[in-house]
Every structure is written in C-alpha cells, then in structure tokens.
Structure 1
C-alpha cells in the first residue's frame, strides 16, 4: 500500500517533529479556515469543520507525505458564486459530487492530465482569484455598512464606492493593527504564526478599548458552536444532480489542480515524489465526507504545506495532528471566537491574496509579449470580470489554438539536394536552383509534426513544387516526430496523386508515423520496398529506377553519379549514331 510507503522508516524519533509541525500548522489554519468560510459566503464554523475533517482525511488517504488540506483562497470566488446562486445546502451537494469526480479521476489514473494545463492559464486565473479576494475584503477593512455582496466584480467595486461615506475609523484601526502584526511577526519570529498573532492582538485591543464600535463574528454570525455538527446526508435527487454537475465539475477541476500543484511544491522542497492518482483519491474521499459534517470543499493548501515542511514534518502524521489541533481549539475555545472583529479577518485574507497572486511570474510571462502573454491576460481578465469557468475554458481553447499555430509554423517542408561541397554530401535545403536540380528525382526535407495545423502547408509546398512531374518523390521524414490522421490523409492524397506516373519513397520514418501509416493501410500502398532507413540507400534505389535516357545532355549534376551517367549516355549515343552511319 502507498500509505505504508509514506511512513517508510518512520520511528518514535520522528514523532516530536510531526507533533511540532502539526501544532504550528493547526494554529495557522484556524484563522484562515474561518476567514475563507466568511469570504465564501458561509458561516465561519464551516471553515473550521472543513479544516478538521478534510485535513485529517487528506493526510490519511492522499498521495503526498507532506500535504496539508483544507479550505483555500482559490475556492472563494467559486464557492461564493455557488452559495449566491444555489444556496449553502446545495453547495454541500456540489462538494460531495466534486469528491466523487476527484475519486474517479484518481481511480482511472487521470492525475497526470493536470500537467497538460498550460502555465499561463493557471497563473492567469490564480492571479485573477487573488485580485477578486483582495478587493472583496476592502469593505470589511474599511468597516463599510450596508454592503450587498454580488457575484460580479464590477458590482462589488461599485458597492464600495457607493458606501464610502460609512467608513468606520475603528475598523480601519483594527485591520491596520492586524495587518502590521501579520507582516512584522514573520520577520521578528519566523516560526510564530503571524495570522493568529494578528488576530489575537487586534481582537484584544478592539475588545478592551472600543467593543461596541466594531462588528464581530458574534454580531454578524452568532456564537460558534464548540462541537462538530452531527452527520447529515444532503437530500439529493436527479434534478438537483443535473443542476449542480457543472459547479461540481469546476470544484473538482480546481481542487485537483490546486492539490497537485501543492504536492509538486512539496516534492521540490523535500526531494520526494508524490503519487498524483493517490492524491486525487484522497482529495475525493475528503470532499465526499466533509460535506456530511457541514464542511465546504477542500484541497491541498500550498502555503500551509510549505509551512509544514519548514517546521520539520516527516510524514502525513503531521497533517493528522494539524486537524486534531483545530478540533481541540474548537472544543475548548470556540466561544472566544465570537469576539473576533470582522475587520481582523480582512487583512489576513489580503495577505493570502497577495501571496497567491504569482505577481512575479505573471509579470515575467506578460513581458514576453508572446502568445503566452495573450493567454495569460485573457484568462486573468475573464477570471476577474466574468467568472473562473469562462476564464479556464477560453484560456484552454486559446492555448490549444495558439499551440497548433506555433507547431504549424515549426513545420518545414523544403526541397533539398546533396551538398557536393560537404565532406559527407549532406542533403540540405537552400542549394536547389533552376540550374541545379534533378528533373527526375525530387527530394524534400520534412521537419516538424505532420498534423492538422501543418497538413495543408505540407501539401501545397510539395504539389506546387513538383508540377513538372518528376519520376521519383523522396520524402526525408526523420525529423517528423508524429503524424495525426489529417497528416496521414494529406500524405495519402500526395501518394495517390503522384503514384499514377511515379514512385513515392520515404526515408528515416519514425515509429509513431509508421504505426499510423500501417493502421490506416497507406504503408502497403506506398510499398514496403519504398521505405528506407537512410537517405543514401533511398538515393541508390532511386538512381536505379530513373529513365537514364533523360540523363543525356543534362547539366544539372545534382548527384555525384550524374557526370558518369551523362558521360555514359553520351558515349552510347555516339556509338549508336556511328553504327547507323555504317
């Protein structure tokens, strides 16, 4: 079992390290869990429940030794939109369905597919989410009253400007204290959890000096229960499943991407290797069970996973400890959470948004002014101003189209001849001219993937060049790594057209294109005797099958043998004339 491998060489000496790292990450996760839940449009305790249940299950059943799971900032816009559209109860159903999707992805070994999502798309929507989170906390930071939350980014910005006259100076003071503490704490004491210290310091100051001047978790959401909720199975029906399949799929995709990215980061920090399919199975189990306890969707948390590693984690046991720590805090300290000001939550999320924004990578890709920067910009703007679903869909489609365009540009089909000046008479392009070209043998260097994006150019280049109908067409395809059915169909058209009066030969064919030709039946049509491993062998065969009478008087001298062939034909021609005379 893979779980046993994750505990390989584990001993009692490792326990203290896991206990310490689990304790620190658990303490950090408490304010983040509540903040993520509030920003997602649900009660703060639901974030705590998610941290406990999902955190323990992801560590138990996942594929990474160091992964810390729970609610994350990346989910905020998605979950908030689902809550606004379908309600909290249906969010639980969507989360449960997302868990099933993740589980199936792991079972069918689709974990490796996540790596095919282009980096500009992931950076684009991650930065877009960060901007959305940051702006979403401005109202709480300023203590604005009467704010209505919307799914649309523009409407939320408008709400801020419309209610600017309700700014609460006490909220700004509280948020400022928390923000400064969160930023300064890691510099003074790197191993002390800044978010928790900021939350405690700002809450204590607000409670002691101006308790009635600021909104708190208690005034906004009521007291947080000090126990886990009872197991509750959501009421599901076919109609509801159909309605929620799209949001469930979005949650699953985002959860899969986020968790595997986090696992990759952990691998890089520890020189280890995670099991991507096992990780998806663990994420699936966690997201199926967490909603039964009222928890929101969860995934791997990159920042908390990195913190776990930096504090000496050895095994998944640290992740389990982190969940247990949060459970104990819930059982014994939940009533005190009611005194936490909402303004204290805002800077914590703002710092999370700032850290997850990938601003350096975003700037680096943007400065390239390439097709990648275009995909990045479009994905970012759609994430902010439309929604994440549209952003990812458009980003992926754009990436696919632009990739096909780039690959078609890479495809080169050019006429070639042996370079007589080269020591080994290497076959090169650029030396063919009107006075230096074989009328009977046309050689083409074909380089790049022969696929749907390049097939038309390939066909046009060859057909327009061989309009004088040479006897033999030799295609040098050693630099064609792959061929799809469109490329095969184009090659088939050339073969059928040319074979009426000549011979098509191919040299250096790679395994994948060869398999395609055999599966489609084009290989036997061309003829096995017309496939060669090396160009030299192909040219020798070609010279044996040309019409030698046409070599008479030819001054092109395209090949080494041309002078000899031309001289022989000239001699034979003179003998024939002499015989006729006598």
Structure 2
C-alpha cells in the first residue's frame, strides 16, 4: 500500500488535532453506549486506524458517532448488558460492511433521498438529547427513548442542582469557547478539563468511577443462543447506518478538498475497522464529520492523518484510566447534548417550508419513526415512500405528455398527414423510459384520448430506451381494446430491446403493424384509411414493417 508523504507535516498536525478533539467524544460516546469510556476509546483507536489505512477517503477521521451509539445503547438494554454479544454484533457489522464494499453496494447507499437522511439524522440527534436529559438532572438514564422520556417527570421532582448547573455550564462552554482558543484546545476538551477540575475541587456529583487501563483484551465472537436474532438485527442496522454515515462524511471531505472518494473501498476500510474494534472490545464507529472537518482545516489530506489521530488516542488510553475516573457524568452529558444538537439538520429545518410539502412530510415521518419506532424501519419506510412518490411523479409526467398534436412533429409531411386525418388517426408518443407507474393508467388514457372517431392508433416508441413488464402488459391491453373496438394499432420506433420484450410476453408484436420510424407508420395509417374508404380490401403497407 502506497503512502503519500508529500504532506507529512500537515497530516501529522491534522491527525494530532483531530485526536485531541476525538478524546472527550470517545469517552462520552463510550459511556452513552453502556459499555464504558474505554470501549469508546478502543473503538476510536481501531476504527480510526484501520478505516484510514484501508479506506477510500484520504482525510477522513473515523470513530464512534452518535448514530452508532444510539443502536448500541438499545442493544445494551435488550441484552441486559451482555458485552460479549454486543461486541459480536460490532464484529458482524464490520464483516457486513466488507461484503457491501466487495459487492459494490456503496454506489447504491448514496441514493437515499435527502429528506430521508435529514429526518433520520435529526431523529438520532433528538434521541441523543433525550437520553442525556436524565444524567443532566442528576439521575441515571433508563434504557430506550420512551423509558428516558417517561422518567423525566420523576427526575424533575428530584433535581440534583449542582449536577444540573455543571451540565448546563459544560454545554454553554462548548458553544461559547472562543474560536481562536479552539485552535489550540478544542472546546469539548476544554469543557472536559474545566468541568472535571471544578467538580473535583468543589462539587459532589456522580463521576465515571473505576476505569481499567492498559491494552485491551481479545473479544471472540459468540455465535448461537436465544439472543442471536437481536444480535444479527443490530449488526445489520449498524452496518447500514455506519455505511451511510461514512459515505455522507466522505462527500463532505470531497467538497472541502476537491477530490473524489472511492465508495466501495471506503466501506471495506470501515468494515475492517469495525471488525477490529469488536475484537478488542471497542464500540462501532463510522466516518465522523466534525473530526474530519477539523483534520482538513488543520492540514490533514491523506490517510496518514487518520492513522496519526488513532495513535494519539492509543498513547492517551494506555495511561488515561486514573485521570478519567473523576470525570463527572454531567460534563459528558453536556458534551453529548452538543453532539445531538449538531446532528439535527437545522439547515434544512429552517427552509423546509419553502420546499415541496411532500418532502417535509417525509422528513417528519422518518424523524418520528426514528425516535419512537426504530432506525432500520424508519429508513426502510422512508426510502420506499420516497421511491413511490418519485415513480408517481414521473408517471404523471409521462401520461401528461402522452398525446402529441401535429405541431410537435418535426416533419412537415408528418404534420400534414396527421392534420388531414385528425379525427381518424390518434398518435401517442412516449417520452423516456416507460415505467410501471405510468402503465397503470396507460390503457385508460389512450381510450379517453383516442375518442370514438379514431380508426387507427399509433404508439410511437422512438424515445423509449426500455420498458418493463408492467408497461408491456399495458400495451397488450391497448391492443386488446383496439381490437374489440375495431381499431387498428400500429407501433413505431421500437428499438431491439423494446421489440424483444413485447414479442417475448405475447409470442408476437401485439399490433397490426410495426414500423422503424413514425413517418412510415403515419404513411401506412393514411394508406389504410384510404383503402377502407374506397371499399377495397384493407391491408397495411409492408414497407418498413417488422
């Protein structure tokens, strides 16, 4: 594997800065997952190092993120804190991401519509904030969003004033920390240090307590048992969520560096990182937008910066335990509230009312399902509804432009033919791929528009690159209606693929004639009408027929 050393100084500077920023977040997210602060550290080290080494986005910094922790916290509650099964889910999620990358699924993950992503990420931000409300008030947070919300009245009736003030002060400090100071000491780290010192000297508030130090122990996956379904389900959610999160961050990095990432390679790198994290007792991670932005702004450009960030965290982790034991839970809760607020898509929410109403409704629906149902259902329902809405919109456009008047035609001769036989020839031209959404109304629309006087129907496929089974069956229905009403049906402009689909489903082309061009079909239709009016045997010209 080649390393670009042309920006070594910038990469090391960016990596060290990103590592300092990642430290308090790794500790806080580890605690939020239920597995403890060192699980957050080990996850940041493993995912950060291996995703950078094997991934496809040069300056990306990977590690524990809010969305991943929400899934892990739910799994922790469902499995009653069985760490071995949780780490098994992390390992399986990593393996799934590797499979995603090998199969080339990275290109498809990016096709999730923006309102779905916005609602999903906003919902995750809301969940993180809800889960931290009880710790800020001085109480342990019950498992699950609904449990945390249900416990808030009880927590409000017995507020721990010092804890609440410390949490609020932490949040204020993170927001108000001067930007010029942030170049040297990032606001989360400053809040962590100051909050811990103040609490140690003057306040009696809950702290993290005993933390193990040293190198992590190997965690072998545990397969089988009654809870395996929960583990597999969580692994799938983690894999999809981590892939989405990482590729979105990759797009941000691309915009900042004017480069282009490799989606599938990035998924393989993230998968290797998460597999390694699970094996050493770390929580799952993904590409982290804020840490990546910090790295780029500090000079990081290549994979070396991500690896340097992990080595900084490793050095800290080996001797951090005694220092981290006194970190107040309220300080970490305040930092996590900031994380949740940052995840909420304020930019879209401020202008959502100016866009399509359906997009806003979809975003709100996904947000609600993310908070009150579960993450995978929210994304699945959102994607399906967005796809159906898009198909309906495209189908409406296809049906709207189906009937064409003579002035639409390029050839004066074609216009003249259609003008002379305006009431006897009904021409329908399809624009673009003929989708199954349009197929449902195709036959009905043709019946309505052709009127009682039309004797010949022409379907022009010149602009149709392909059609699916639904559309082909709709053409068959039009042919059947034409036959029952004694009308002749001609097809024009079919390419080989369209011709093959129509013929394969019916055994033959469902029409009295098919022509390579629309002009040939119009000429044939007029000749047929003249024969009919003269009382001569009706036959369609063979020229150009297929």
Give the TM-score of the pair, scaled to structure 2.
Answer: 0.89
- Within a 5 Å distance, the mapping from 1:358-373 to structure 2 comes to 358-373=345-360
**Distance (Å, rounded) in 1 between the aligned partners of 2:524 and 2:155:** 84
Q: For residue 246 of structure 1, report the CA deviation from its aligned partner.
A: 1.5
Partner of 1:271 in structure 2? 258
Distance 1:468 1:237, change over 3 A: same
SS of alignment partner, residue 491 of structure 2: strand
Structure 1 residues 183-208: Cα deviation after superposition (integer angstroms, max 9, x where no partner): 23352334231111111111112212
Partner of 1:403 in structure 2? 390
Deviation larger for 417-426 or 253-262: 417-426
CA contact under 8 A between 1:179 and 1:347: conserved in structure 2?
yes
**Distance (Å, rounded) in 1 between the aligned partners of 2:72 and 2:525:** 67
Distance 1:133 1:366, change over 3 A: farther
Distance 1:307 1:400, change over 3 A: same
Q: For residue 423 of structure 1, report the CA deviation from its aligned partner.
A: 9.4
Partner of 1:307 in structure 2? 294
Deviation larger for 126-135 or 441-450: 441-450
Partner of 2:441 in structure 1? 457
CA contact under 8 A between 2:499 and 2:509: conserved in structure 1?
no
Partner of 1:71 in structure 2? 64
SS of alignment partner, residue 301 of structure 2: coil
Q: Which blocks of at least 5 consecutive residues in structure 1 are unaligned?
A: 553-582
Higher relative contact order (CA 8 A, sep 6+): 2
Highest Rg: 1 or 2? 1
Q: For residue 232 of structure 1, report the CA deviation from its aligned partner.
A: 2.4
**Distance (Å, rounded) in 1 between the aligned partners of 2:496 and 2:303:** 43
Partner of 1:556 in structure 2? none
- Within a 5 Å distance, the mapping from 1:217-296 to structure 2 comes to 217-218=208-209, 222=210, 224-237=211-224, 240-296=227-283
**Distance (Å, rounded) in 1 between the aligned partners of 2:212 and 2:58:** 32
- Within a 5 Å distance, the mapping from 1:43-442 to structure 2 comes to 43-86=36-79, 87=81, 88-142=83-137, 144-145=138-139, 147-151=140-144, 153-192=145-184, 193-210=186-203, 213-218=204-209, 222=210, 224-237=211-224, 240-412=227-399, 414-419=402-407, 424=412, 438-442=422-426
Structure 1 residues 108-130: Cα deviation after superposition (integer angstroms, max 9, x where no partner): 11111102211111110100110
SS of alignment partner, residue 473 of structure 1: strand
Q: For residue 508 of structure 1, report the CA deviation from its aligned partner.
A: 4.2
**Distance (Å, rounded) in 2 between the aligned partners of 1:421 and 1:298:** 58
CA contact under 8 A between 1:92 and 1:294: conserved in structure 2?
yes
CA contact under 8 A between 2:101 and 2:266: conserved in structure 1?
yes
Partner of 2:474 in structure 1? 490
Distance 1:135 1:417, change over 3 A: closer
CA contact under 8 A between 1:418 and 1:425: conserved in structure 2?
no
Structure 1 residues 551-582: Cα deviation after superposition (integer angstroms, max 9, x where no partner): 89xxxxxxxxxxxxxxxxxxxxxxxxxxxxxx
CA contact under 8 A between 1:407 and 1:449: conserved in structure 2?
no
CA contact under 8 A between 1:440 and 1:470: conserved in structure 2?
yes
Q: For residue 140 of structure 1, report the CA deviation from its aligned partner.
A: 2.1
Distance 1:392 1:310, change over 3 A: same
Distance 1:421 1:264, change over 3 A: closer
**Distance (Å, rounded) in 2 between the aligned partners of 1:167 and 1:239:** 39
Partner of 1:572 in structure 2? none
Which one of 14, 18, 42 corresponds to residue 35 of structure 2? 42
The aligned length equals 529
Give the TM-score of the pair, scaled to structure 1.
Answer: 0.84
Partner of 1:575 in structure 2? none
Q: CA RMSD in A?
A: 2.8
Partner of 1:536 in structure 2? 519
CA contact under 8 A between 1:232 and 1:292: conserved in structure 2?
yes
**Distance (Å, rounded) in 2 between the aligned partners of 1:366 and 1:94:** 40
Q: Which blocks of at least 5 consecutive residues in structure 2 are unaligned?
A: 536-546
Deviation larger for 457-466 or 284-293: 457-466
Distance 1:422 1:399, change over 3 A: closer
**Distance (Å, rounded) in 1 between the aligned partners of 2:168 and 2:228:** 44
**Distance (Å, rounded) in 2 between the aligned partners of 1:285 and 1:420:** 57
**Distance (Å, rounded) in 2 between the aligned partners of 1:417 and 1:179:** 65
Deviation larger for 178-187 or 97-106: 178-187
Q: For residue 523 of structure 1, report the CA deviation from its aligned partner.
A: 6.8
CA contact under 8 A between 2:123 and 2:368: conserved in structure 1?
yes
CA contact under 8 A between 2:414 and 2:519: conserved in structure 1?
no
Distance 1:481 1:350, change over 3 A: farther
Structure 1 residues 160-199: Cα deviation after superposition (integer angstroms, max 9, x where no partner): 2212233222223322332233223352334231111111
Distance 1:25 1:541, change over 3 A: same
